[in-house]
Amino acid sequence: MRQLLSCPKSLVFVLLSLSDLALTWWLLEYSGRVVCEANPVADWWLSRYGWLGLAGFKATMVLLVIVLAAIIARRRPHAAGRILGFACAALVLVVLHSVALGRTAKTADEFVEEINQDLEESNRAAHRRTSKIFAYFALLANVTDDVAAGKSTLPQAVERLAQAARSEDGDFLQNLARTHPGCSLRECLAIEITTCVHKLRCGAGLVHAGRFPTLPAQRVGPSS
C-alpha cells in the first residue's frame, strides 16, 4: 500500500483529482451556478452538504481507487498500474474539459445581459412588424375612402397597396393566398379593397333591402 501511494501514477491521480475539485469550484462560483456539476452524485453532495461535502465525496473516490489498486497490486501489479493509468487519463479529460469550459463560460450577469439583448432584439423585430401592420391597414383605409369617393380607380388603389411595406411581408402574403386561393397578389388586394368599400358603403347606409352595390368592372393589371 505504501509503495502504491508513493507510485508516480498515484501521485498524479491525487493531483488531478485536486485540480478537478479546484476547477469545479472556480467554474461554479465564477458562473454564478449557470454552469452546474455534471456528475449527479457529486451534485447531490454539493447541494446537500456544500463544498465540504463535495470535497469529502471526491476524497472518498480517490481513496477507493487507490485502495482497490493496492488490493489488485498484491497479485497483479501490472494490472493495478494500468487501472491507475486509466483513472489518470479519465481525469485528464475531465480537467481539460473544465479548462475549455472555463474559457467559454459566462458569468450570471453576462448570461442575463445576453438574454436581455435577445429580448430587446425580439421586441425591435415585433415593433417593426407591428409598424408594418399599422401602416398597411392605414393605407388600406385611405385607398378604400378614395375608391368609395370616386377619387381613385381600383387598379390605382391596388398599385398603391401593393407597394406598401406590409405587402412585402412573407407571412402576410401567405395569409392572403390562403384566404383567396388561386389569386395573384394584386387580385387578392383588389378583393380586400372591394370588401372594405362594400363594408364602408354598408355602414354609410347605401345598401337597401340586403343588396350590396357592386363596383364597376375594372382590370387590375398584370398578375404578380
What's residue 224's pLDDT? 43
Range of the domain at 149: 111-203
Same domain, 26 and 120: no
pTM over 0.85: no
CB atoms closer than 10 angstroms to residue 78: 9
Indicate if 41 and 89 belong to the same structural domain.
Answer: yes
Instruction: Classify residue 175: in a domain, yes or no.
Output: yes
Of 105, 135, 167, which one is at a domain's C-terminal end? 105
For residue 95, tell me if it sits in a domain. Answer: yes
Q: Are residues 12 and 55 in the same domain?
A: yes
For residue 146, is pLDDT > 60?
A: yes
Residue 212 belongs to a domain: no
- pLDDT category at 216 given cuts 50, 70, 90 is very low
Question: Has residue 100 been placed in a domain?
Answer: yes
**Domain end among 71, 87, 105:** 105
Is the residue at 76 inside a domain? yes
Q: Are residues 93 and 72 in the same domain?
A: yes
In a domain, 159, yes or no: yes
Tell whether 163 is covered by a domain.
yes
Average pLDDT over residues 186-211: 71
On whether both 134 and 48 belong to a single domain, the answer is no
In this prediction, residue 212 has a pLDDT band, given cuts at 50, 70 and 90, of: very low
Residue 111 CB neighbours (<10 A): 15
101 with 27, same domain: the answer is yes
Confidence tier at 27 by pLDDT (50, 70, 90): confident
- Mean pLDDT across the stretch 113-131? 81
Count CA atoms closer than 13 A to 165's CA, side-chain side.
9
- Clarify whether residues 82 and 166 are in a common domain: no
Average pLDDT, integer, range 118-131: 83
Amino acid at 54: L
pLDDT at 155 over 80: yes
> Do 14 and 101 reside in the same domain of the chain?
yes
Of 216, 223, 146, 139, which is closest to residue 187 (Cα–Cα)? Answer: 223
List pLDDT tens digits, range 30-59. 665 556 777 788 888 888 888 888 899 889
DSSP 154-217: HHHHHHHHHTSGGGG-HHHHHHHHHHSTT--HHHHHHHHHHHHHHHHHHHTT--BTTB---PPP
Q: Last residue of some domain: 83, 105, 127?
A: 105
Q: Does residue 41 lie within any of the structural domains?
A: yes
143 and 96 both lie in a single domain: no
* Same domain, residue pair 74 and 122: no
Over residues 93-121, the mean pLDDT reads: 73
End-to-end Cα spacing for the chain:
86
Q: Minimum mean pLDDT among 87-96, 140-149, 201-210: which range?
A: 201-210
Cell numbers representing residue 167 in the block: 405587402
Number of domains in the chain: 2
